[in-house]
Structure 1
């Protein structure tokens, strides 16, 4: 591999055209400049200069090396600046969250990208366990979870709270226990967990979600309320998921006497400094959650 210090000395010599002035510009001795050129010639096995006293001209090999080396030297000169750059509105940001949070947050992050096209949002919907693993494995920059992490590699802090809502068909005005039992439950990946939190706090009869007849299941956050809207059962969902449902007139949300909400946690890699673009997205998320 060619020594870049030798290359820089050679290119400067060609630009300046004089050994003494080159040495002064590079804060070297004249013999040091000559030595760098000779080492290049030895490594390449070709003469680079035709020396004529204190003057010189480039050989064909010298001209070819100069043309190639200029690009290398210019790239190296700007490398430190490029590495030191940390723009707030450029680059890829990988985000992962459960579905309800994503339904709320993703449109706002896309709007941020529309305002700053060099900022690229990569958003994945996933359950808490997958989000946690992705943060620990450096597969995402930011993760949102509805529980704190148990992994040492993940740093978590509470960022917001999200209310859990009982959702029934629109015709149900009073969701008493008998009515819920008659309706049956529309399940989803977090259905048992969410039902346990909300219904246990409001219905003394509740023991577990399996008490209800299962009337359906969907793992697509945007589709869980479809069967509810058709009168096929009830469910319990976070507020952001309910708010994103496109047919709100066909369902009814019930805020029960004992409200229950989940804490939303922001997770990042514990020892990884946050680039400015990630800080930008976190600030935008805090604005909307």
Structure 2
């Protein structure tokens, strides 16, 4: 492989056309420049210059080396520049969160990308434990969770709260305990956990570990309220998920005496250097979710 230092000396000599001035520009001695040219010729097995006293012309091999070598050097210089840059508004940021958080946050981050088109948002939806795993394996730059991390290499900070709400069909406002039992539960991946938190704080009849008749299940956050709107059951969801539902007149969001919220956490890998673009996205997310 051609030594890039030798190649740089050769291309500079071709462009300046003078050994002494080339050496001065490269902060080298004239003999050092000559040595680089000689090493290139030895490696390639071809003469690159035809010397005429203090002047020189390029051989065919020298012409080809200069043309291709200049492209290589330009690419290396551009690579060095790109690696050294740390723009706050350019590059890919990989974000992952549970669905309810994403329904609120993703649209806001798209608006940020629309403002700064070179900032690319790569957004994935995943449950809390999967969010942790993706951060740990460096497959996500930033993660949002509604439970604390159990992994020591995942650093989290609380950035807000998300209220849990009881949702029934619009025909069943302020449901009693027997009405909830008759309706049945529209379950989802966090359904039992959310129901336990909210119903346990507001219905004395609720017992830890109690299960309802299941009237349906969906793992798509945007679809969980469809069976509720059709009168097929009730569910418990975070407010962000309810706010995104397209038919709010077909459901009833029931105020309860004791409000219950989940803490929202922002997570990153503890040993990962955070880029400026990651800070840009994190600050926008905090503003949106607080």
Per the normalisation by structure 1, the TM-score is 0.96
Contact 1:192 1:208 in 2 (8 A): no
Rounded to whole Å, the distance in 2 between the matches of 1:27 and 1:186 is: 74
What are the residue-to-residue correspondences of 1:89-128 with 2, within 5 Å? 89-128=89-128
Contact 1:186 1:227 in 2 (8 A): yes
Per the normalisation by structure 2, the TM-score is 0.95
Rounded to whole Å, the distance in 2 between the matches of 1:114 and 1:226 is: 31
Matched, 1:10 2:14: no
Q: Report the CA distance between 1:74 and its aligned residue.
A: 2.5
Gaps of 5+ in 2: none
Q: Report the CA distance between 1:3 and its aligned residue.
A: 1.3
Q: Helix, strand or coil: the match of 2:180?
A: helix
> 39-48 or 74-83, which moves further after superposition?
74-83
Matched, 1:285 2:285: yes
Q: Report the CA distance between 1:146 and its aligned residue.
A: 0.7
Q: Helix, strand or coil: the match of 2:178?
A: helix
Rounded to whole Å, the distance in 2 between the matches of 1:183 and 1:236 is: 13
Measured on the aligned residues, the alpha-carbon RMSD in Å equals 1.4
Distance of aligned partners of 1:219 and 1:208 in 2 relative to their CA distance in 1, 3 Å threshold: farther
Contact 1:47 1:62 in 2 (8 A): yes
Query: What is the aligned residue count?
Result: 289
Matched, 1:19 2:54: no
> Deviation per CA, 1:75-118, whole angstroms, max 9, x where unpaired?
33344322111112222111111111111111111122222222
Q: Helix, strand or coil: the match of 1:28?
A: coil
Rounded to whole Å, the distance in 2 between the matches of 1:175 and 1:208 is: 20
Rounded to whole Å, the distance in 2 between the matches of 1:25 and 1:187 is: 72
> Deviation per CA, 1:150-178, whole angstroms, max 9, x where unpaired?
11221111111000001111122222212
Rounded to whole Å, the distance in 2 between the matches of 1:249 and 1:276 is: 43
> 242-251 or 65-74, which moves further after superposition?
65-74
Q: Helix, strand or coil: the match of 2:222?
A: coil
Instruction: Name the structure 1 match of 2:48.
Output: 48
Instruction: Name the structure 2 match of 1:88.
Output: 88
Instruction: Name the structure 2 match of 1:240.
Output: 240
Distance of aligned partners of 1:2 and 1:211 in 2 relative to their CA distance in 1, 3 Å threshold: closer
Q: Helix, strand or coil: the match of 2:263?
A: strand
Instruction: Name the structure 2 match of 1:76.
Output: 76
What are the residue-to-residue correspondences of 1:143-222 with 2, within 5 Å? 143-208=143-208, 210-222=210-222
Distance of aligned partners of 1:61 and 1:257 in 2 relative to their CA distance in 1, 3 Å threshold: same
Gaps of 5+ in 1: none
Distance of aligned partners of 1:77 and 1:107 in 2 relative to their CA distance in 1, 3 Å threshold: closer
Q: Helix, strand or coil: the match of 2:266?
A: strand
